Structure 1
Amino acid sequence: MVLGAWLMSPASVPWSLLAYGVLGLVLLWQAGRLLHSLWWRPRRLELALRAQGLRGTRYRFLTGDLGEHGRLNREAWARPLPLRCHDIAPRVAPFLHNAVREHGSACFTWFGPTPKVTITDPDLAKDVLSNKFGHFEKPKFPTLTKLFSDSLANHEGEKWVKHRRILNPAFHLEKLKLMLPAFSACCEELVSKWMESLGSDGSYEVDVWPEMQILTGDVISRTAFGSSYLEGRRIFQLQAEQTERLLKCMQKIVIPGYMSLPTKNNRKMHQTKKETDSILRGLVDKRMQAMKEGECTKDDLLGLLLESNMRHTEEDGQSNHGLTIEEVIEECKLFYFAGMETTSVLLTWTILLLSMHPEWQDRAREEILGLFGKNKPEYEGLSRLKIVTMILYEVLRLYPPAVTFTRKTYKQMEIEGVTYPAGVIVELPVLLIHHDLNIWGSDAHEFKPDRFAEGISKASKNPGAFLPFGWGPRICIGQNFALLEAKMALCMILQCFKLELMPSYTHAPYSMVTLRPMHGAQIKLRAI
């Protein structure tokens, strides 16, 4: 009996058995959490959404609809569109297009284990973006954000308010006017390069997609860092490389812990981030030191940002009311991606569509030559461009840079009688709204810039159906920058060249962060 009691006493149990027991409990607990987040919770959310009348796809364990999304993309992207076909949604977003057609204008699909509700009503989309129903968050992928740009676009609440308040002065129209010389200098260099490349017949064949990326990369380099724009070019290259690597991860980020694995792609992304941060820190430190020594603030984005940051810090008398060096660096990364990417895709599609529709190219050139002749465009003239503005709006409608906007419920919220639990992604498909026949008419898939002849509000049956830059408090801070740059570039190109579509051009728009031409944009330039 004494021996039996001794064997049953806790002191007699080997520590290794206790450790294994604790480890087993921990593993069971973690397995339970995973099972809950990857199966029971999605199934519960699916039942809740269906009970309220929403239709959608059925949840598949872990991956949701990612597999089907990828399959449909591969099939659609293998088939180019006919020339001058602007009904691009079935090719650009085949899964989204099919889901809405099969399940209705308000339906749900699955991004991994997270339900994604699609809302195609433009009024509801504006209400979501304006936070009419309460605050929505941007969907967060913390590891990806830190590797790319943890900036204004990702912040929420008071942090977003602080960053937006400090950034706003850099994008005031009066400040943008001061950047026009940088815009025209970059465009002049591009036009001169093309002129020097003309053949004996006065023509030059070129893929304008990489040319527009270089142009807008140079513009943002000059306007962000002034005389240091050559150093900025390296940042542009690194950001482009980082974007490509991040896209490779998008199908796998739903796998718990994937981004922490030491894969070749993940290691390279960390190296790229380190080099980008190092270059930017050097530029910011150099500029801050110059400001401390009494040098005048330069009228580039970095100078304006640092000046605004210093002013807010001095007014409040508290350093935490300004941005840290690390936060300034992250905002500079956003300058690069947003400033380069949006305008490069806008200019590329504009050049392609004007090549497909030469009658509008002629009208635009006539307006430009009437206002400026062969002289450099100036702000007052750019602000009076009516036909060019109509063309840019129509390109943004048919080929919006961002195909969708997304938000996420952080608590239970009600939208038009439907209650959405916390953790639901709300997808606002700009592309589908911009191509809706019920909103834009039977010619919605046609290139008709004159629909904007009386402005945006009268271009469609719904005044709020034009959303290329978003809506509400989080509308793109750089939209005026992008449009001003696009007008300058288009004017200087059309002053010198006639644009013709090359036979080698394949009409194949596809979405990779932004809406791009898959096989380039081959154009023949003819000097005029």
Structure 2
Amino acid sequence: MVTDMELVKEILLNTSLNLGKPSYLSKDMGPLLGQGIVSSSGQIWAHQRKIIAPELYPDKVKAMIDQIVDSTNIMVRSWENRIEKDGVVSEIKIDEDMRSLSADIIARVCFGSNYVEGKEIFTKLGDLLKHLSKIYAGIPGFRYLPNENNRQIWRLEKEINSNISKLVKQRQQEGREQDLMQMILEGAKNCDGNDGLLSNSTSQDRFIIDNCKTIFFAGHDTTSITASWCLMLLATYQDWQDRARAEVLEVCGNGIPDSSMLKSMKTLTMVVQETLRLYPPAVFVTRTAFQDINIKGIEVPKGMNIQIPISIMQHDIDLWGPDALEFKPERFENGVLGACKIPQAYMPFGVGSRVCPGQHLSMIELKVFLSLILSKFRFSLSSSYCHSPAFRLLIAPGEGVVLNMARI
């Protein structure tokens, strides 16, 4: 476990392939991640990032905003209907709606015109994640026992892999479409064994399946959980809810947010950044040494695992000040550089060469979600809300987020 900031910087900014993801990650999370971009290392990781990252650059993400708005408006209308049915105020547990919304968007981005089938796959992946979270911190070797939970994991993994394979074959027959799955397909073809990465068609199939599943995990659950935390905090701190709403109405009026509007929403950006600081989706940044290496004069032997605790770094009063545990979005008024003594201590999306390639998409999604919700509703925490952050592979609201919602 590393918390010394100079060591943390050295590890996170290291570009050598001698530091990578530990093998236990692909073993414990194999059914969900396989050898996708989150869990792989070395040349395989570098090749996957080269394929996926350009598809999630800001210019590409701008073209996805209309899809995000359309999906969000469907959810907003469902909330409006519930409020109309219940009267002035409706008590809504938002978590499942946020998960469904995020899954819809990622399915469209990843699978394009096949997004309905893609969303069905993502529903199964969500079930798989729930079952995996029950054994992740359990007894070593427990995942191999033929109990009911493990049998469900094995069944879901088989079904998901089969469904993705069917979509891939369908896409190959129908022809080219510009979406993430097409980029992954072409990346597998261009990695045909000449460089020693993928040696046969089975490896290419695994490459496609693993990265489709990884996109779900990295781009779906993390965003939906952060959206729930954002709404919980805005429901708790009504002054910030009012400030964020005023900004949205000033920038957008009654219109639909576009990329330039979202970029100008400074208050909303600060709220999202502070939420990610207080409730980062992941618990640790993990690395393993593939060779004996020296980090700031410390000898790290081959095979040693390194963990950097994200919450500890992002809640450290020496780095963030005496109010480090308080919700104060204004700390980000001058960006991350102005919020913290050492900017690398802010790592909700990671830092350095392994920074999350989907961070721009996630930020755009969150700002669209919040801007449309704030423009339509006022909300407060329900008395039935129980604050209980829980580790379920990601840090999520243990009992969900329940809001009292009213139309503006």
TM-score (norm 2): 0.92
Q: 1:158 aligns to what?
A: 43
Q: Which amino acid counterpart does residue 192 of structure 1 have in structure 2?
A: R
Between the aligned partners of 1:326 and 1:195, the Cα distance in structure 2 is: 43
Between the aligned partners of 2:222 and 2:310, the Cα distance in structure 1 is: 15
2:100 matches 1:220? no
Report the CA distance shift for 1:288/1:173 in structure 2 as closer, same or farther (over 3 A): farther
Offset at residue 309 of structure 1 (A): 5.4
Q: 1:517 aligns to what?
A: 397
Q: Which amino acid counterpart does residue 166 of structure 2 have in structure 1?
A: G
Between the aligned partners of 1:427 and 1:445, the Cα distance in structure 2 is: 22
Q: 1:288 aligns to what?
A: 172
After TM superposition, the structure 1 stretch with the greater mean CA deviation from structure 2, 362-371 or 197-206, is 197-206
Q: 1:427 aligns to what?
A: 307
Report the CA distance shift for 1:251/1:514 in structure 2 as closer, same or farther (over 3 A): closer
Find 1:385's aligned residue among 262, 265, 272: 265
2:36 matches 1:122? no
Offset at residue 167 of structure 1 (A): 1.4
Between the aligned partners of 1:178 and 1:332, the Cα distance in structure 2 is: 20
2:279 matches 1:399? yes
Q: 2:363 aligns to what?
A: 483
Report the CA distance shift for 1:370/1:146 in structure 2 as closer, same or farther (over 3 A): same
Q: 1:341 aligns to what?
A: 221
Between the aligned partners of 1:145 and 1:512, the Cα distance in structure 2 is: 12
After TM superposition, the structure 1 stretch with the greater mean CA deviation from structure 2, 344-353 or 156-165, is 156-165
2:57 matches 1:172? yes
Q: Which amino acid counterpart does residue 125 of structure 2 have in structure 1?
A: Q
Deviations 1:101-123 (A, max 9, x none): xxxxxxxxxxxxxxxxx111233
Q: Secondary structure, in 3 states, of the residue corresponding to 1:507?
A: coil
Contact 1:127-1:133 within 8 A present in 2 as well: no
Mapping of residues 58-207 of structure 1, within 5 Å: 118-131=1-14, 135-141=18-24, 142-150=26-34, 151-199=36-84, 201-207=87-93
Offset at residue 233 of structure 1 (A): 2.4
Q: 2:185 aligns to what?
A: 306
Q: Secondary structure, in 3 states, of the residue corresponding to 1:153?
A: coil
Between the aligned partners of 2:343 and 2:54, the Cα distance in structure 1 is: 28
Contact 2:18-2:291 within 8 A present in 1 as well: no
Between the aligned partners of 2:22 and 2:191, the Cα distance in structure 1 is: 30
Find 1:498's aligned residue among 346, 364, 378: 378
Mapping of residues 293-372 of structure 1, within 5 Å: 297-298=177-178, 300-307=179-186, 312=190, 324-372=204-252
Between the aligned partners of 2:16 and 2:183, the Cα distance in structure 1 is: 35
Q: 1:235 aligns to what?
A: 121
Deviations 1:435-485 (A, max 9, x none): 111111111111111111111111112222211111111111111111011
After TM superposition, the structure 1 stretch with the greater mean CA deviation from structure 2, 518-527 or 218-227, is 218-227
Between the aligned partners of 2:191 and 2:130, the Cα distance in structure 1 is: 37
Deviations 1:404-441 (A, max 9, x none): 11112233333333333333221101101111111111
2:295 matches 1:411? no
Offset at residue 238 of structure 1 (A): 1.4
Q: Which amino acid counterpart does residue 263 of structure 1 have in structure 2?
A: N
Q: 1:112 aligns to what?
A: none
Gaps of 5+ in 2: none
Offset at residue 260 of structure 1 (A): 3.6
Q: Secondary structure, in 3 states, of the residue corresponding to 2:20?
A: coil
Q: Which amino acid counterpart does residue 182 of structure 2 have in structure 1?
A: G
Report the CA distance shift for 1:510/1:264 in structure 2 as closer, same or farther (over 3 A): closer
Report the CA distance shift for 1:132/1:279 in structure 2 as closer, same or farther (over 3 A): closer
Between the aligned partners of 2:391 and 2:397, the Cα distance in structure 1 is: 9
Q: Which amino acid counterpart does residue 305 of structure 1 have in structure 2?
A: I
Q: Which amino acid counterpart does residue 144 of structure 1 have in structure 2?
A: D
Identity of counterpart residues, as a percentage?
33
Q: Which amino acid counterpart does residue 79 of structure 2 have in structure 1?
A: W
After TM superposition, the structure 1 stretch with the greater mean CA deviation from structure 2, 473-482 or 221-230, is 221-230
Offset at residue 385 of structure 1 (A): 1.2
Deviations 1:43-76 (A, max 9, x none): xxxxxxxxxxxxxxxxxxxxxxxxxxxxxxxxxx
Bigger relative CO (Cα 8 Å, ≥ 6 apart): 2
Between the aligned partners of 1:297 and 1:234, the Cα distance in structure 2 is: 20
Offset at residue 252 of structure 1 (A): 4.2
Between the aligned partners of 1:498 and 1:454, the Cα distance in structure 2 is: 28
Q: Secondary structure, in 3 states, of the residue corresponding to 2:140?
A: coil
Mapping of residues 238-257 of structure 1, within 5 Å: 238-252=124-138, 254-255=140-141
Q: Report how many aligned residue pairs link the two structures.
A: 402
Between the aligned partners of 2:65 and 2:16, the Cα distance in structure 1 is: 40
Q: 2:256 aligns to what?
A: 376
RMSD (CA atoms): 2.3
Report the CA distance shift for 1:242/1:201 in structure 2 as closer, same or farther (over 3 A): closer
Q: Which amino acid counterpart does residue 306 of structure 1 have in structure 2?
A: L
Q: 1:269 aligns to what?
A: 153
Deviations 1:373-418 (A, max 9, x none): 1211111111111111011000011111112111122333333333
